[in-house]
Structures are given as structure tokens and as C-alpha cells.
Structure 1
Amino acid sequence: MKMRRIDHIVLTVSDLEESTRFYHEVFDMPVIDQQNSAQLVTLRCGHQLIRLQKADRPTELKAPHLTTGAADFCIVAGDKLDDILHHLKSYFVEIVAGPVEKHGSEGPMTSVYVHDPDNNLVEIAVYKNK
């Protein structure tokens, strides 16, 4: 079996509206589906999706021990680092680390780290020569 890419990730959130607003406004991710009755919101992140769910979402298809603030993931940005830093500052998003030089799946990159409303660690990366 060949794995090609990650299609989506699901984050468990404490406040669906607040987290939706954060990912939509701060990261400019369009909301493509909002199922309030199912307590699930889907946002587009490039070619992938980020789904936000409440821990008590009524479904059998979820991890057995859902918790908020346990995720640590990286988003590749298409903007210049200075523009990203200015944008985060304009939304009063605290940078918890960076800029730091890192090595990602496509080579050297520069990253900054922020927390989302549930304290998930979100790395925002800009690849060199991309």
C-alpha cells in the first residue's frame, strides 16, 4: 500500500465557534462545510482539510480519548515571513517561538509557532527557495 498524502486532520475543540473564527480569520482558511447539528466544521487548508469537532460529537468514528490542546502540526504558508509576522500581530496572536530555522519534508524552512484557542501548537512554515 502506498501512502500519498494527508487528506485531513481533525482537531477536538472546546468552542467550535471561536476555533472556526480563529482558523478562518487568522489563517484565511475558507469554511467549506458547517454541520452544527453534528458539531463539525470543515475548513480548507491548501489541498487538505482541517476539521474541527466538539468532544461530544455524536459519531462512532472518532478517537477513543478526545482532548483539546494535544495537537502539534505544521502549516506551510505561501506568504513572506515578514508579512506573516505582521498579520499575526494585527490579530493579536502571540508568537510563542521563532522565527527559527527548521528542516521540513521539502527541505529548509523558517518557522514561527503560535497556539490556537485550545493551546494546540501550530507551526507556520515558509520554505526557502519555494
Structure 2
Amino acid sequence: MIHHIDHIVLTTAHEEACIDFYTRVLGMQLESFIGGSPPVPRKAFLFGSQKINLHIQGKEFEPKADIPTPGSLDMCFIASCPLTEVIQRLQQEQWPVIEGPVIRTGARSKIRSVYVRDPDLNLIEISETI
């Protein structure tokens, strides 16, 4: 019945720092748009054929998760480049790796991963398939 994920929603308590991390550090594209009912200004991070919609804590709009909480996500991204380049980019941006590289089991194959935290302390796993 389900084919793939279209988007997820990330709730942040630190809008500017969150935008900086996902755009500068991870290289995602920031999109601003009008959406919802009633229409309101929105933001999202685009990468590949996916996106992450952004909610600001205390300014969420309906419908939303029952208890939208910054720092409650654990997400894994497959990198578009070798993991060695990911690690170099993180070092260049002075973003600490909290674990890795380590071997994990991904959705379709074994993956090699590093872990970081975003400004809201969500756990972000960045991986390459092996």
C-alpha cells in the first residue's frame, strides 16, 4: 500500500540555527512557500526527491503531531558522496561527529554511518551503502 515517504516534519526551537545546519552543513536547499488551510508562510529543506517541512515550536499549524517536540527525531540520510567526504565536510564546518564511522543495517543493505546532532539535538545519521 505504501510506496515511499514524500516528506517529514521537523519541529525546531531554534529556527535560524536549524536552517543553518540543514543548509550550510548538510547542503540542503531552503524552500519558502505558502501552504496549509488557511494559507500561511512555510519553510522546507529540499534534497534529492525528498523534503523536510519545518515547524517552529509554539507556532505549529494544524494538523500537527500530537506532541511536536524538538529533539525527538532520529533520522538517517544516505549521502550523495563517499562518507570520507561527509566527514571532511563536517570537520570543515566544525560540526562534531558523536559516533562513527560504524557499520549499521539500512533499509536495503549494510551502511557505514556517522552520527551528529542538529541544533535541537535530533540524532542525525549520515550514511553510505556498502
Q: What is the TM-score when the length of structure 2 is the normalising length?
A: 0.89
- Letter aligned with residue 96 of structure 1: I
Query: Residue 95 and residue 61 in structure 1: after superposition, are their counterparts in 2 closer, same or farther (change >3 A)?
Result: same
Corresponding residue number in structure 2 for 1:27: 26
Corresponding residue number in structure 2 for 1:88: 90
**Pick aligned residue for 1:113 from 95, 112, 115:** 115
Q: Deviations over 1:48-106 (max 9, x none)?
A: 10112112225221012111101001011011111111100011111011100111112
- Determine whether 1:47 maps to 2:49: yes
Report the identity percentage. 33
Query: Residue 58 and residue 39 in structure 1: after superposition, are their counterparts in 2 closer, same or farther (change >3 A)?
Result: farther
| Contact residue 32 and residue 41 of structure 2 kept, 8 A | no
Gaps of 5+ in 1: none
Q: What is the TM-score when the length of structure 1 is the normalising length?
A: 0.89
Query: Residue 89 and residue 65 in structure 1: after superposition, are their counterparts in 2 closer, same or farther (change >3 A)?
Result: same
Structure 1 vs Structure 2 CA RMSD: 1.7
Gaps of 5+ in 2: none
Corresponding residue number in structure 2 for 1:14: 13
